Structure 1
Amino acid sequence: MNKLKALLLMTMLGTLPAACGGAAASYCDLVCDCSGCNDNQYDECLTNTQAALDKAAIYDCGDEWDDLEECVFDEYSCRRGDFSLAVCFRELAEAEVCVHDRSDGMARLFSEYPIGF
């Protein structure tokens, strides 16, 4: 029985890194599949996107983040290596305003616009 528990625990722990990446990893996969990122660019994308997701959660802007995420995954375009999210600018602005307002102007969702805007 202990071997079974250990195997189940290892299996569960083995899935955690993939689960933690979630939306950030999916977004960066889209960007890099389109534009051809190197490993450093992918890691930077992942770090910045996860930081933005964390800020949205900290400042209770999950609804705005969800709207942005839905737009990104439904509306992105990739043409000749150019990843575009221009149609999601309103959702990005609403998420930015939410974080800015709920942090009393002390925080921004992204330190710079994410790839595609």
Structure 2
Amino acid sequence: MDADTKVCGIDPDSTFVELAVEVFQMLADATRVRIVLALRQAGELSVNHLADIVDKSPAAVSQHLAKLRMARIVATRQQGQRVFYRLEDEHASQLVTQAIQQAEHTIGRPRHHHQASA
């Protein structure tokens, strides 16, 4: 069983620890968190639509999306001249969801996420 844990990288001396820190650094930006949340909810959006949702300029959102794409957090699909973005997988969405839930704990708000599983 211990061997299985080390294979998937969930161990304090894992080589994936530094990469995990890079993922946290990538998500340590409010605009990027809002982008992840918007894509989580909608599935797939264009830069302009995301810019409207997160209340930033398309140029700023495009720069954030480029970083998220380099980190393999988002993927693209081109349709004609338009590019649509989606989350690469569920992991970034889960990280952001967990962070929001942890934030609820830090300010003592009702823990709706605990009630849903009860």
TM-score (normalised: structure 1)? 0.31
Higher relative contact order (CA 8 A, sep 6+): 1
Structure with higher helix content: 1
More strand by share: 2
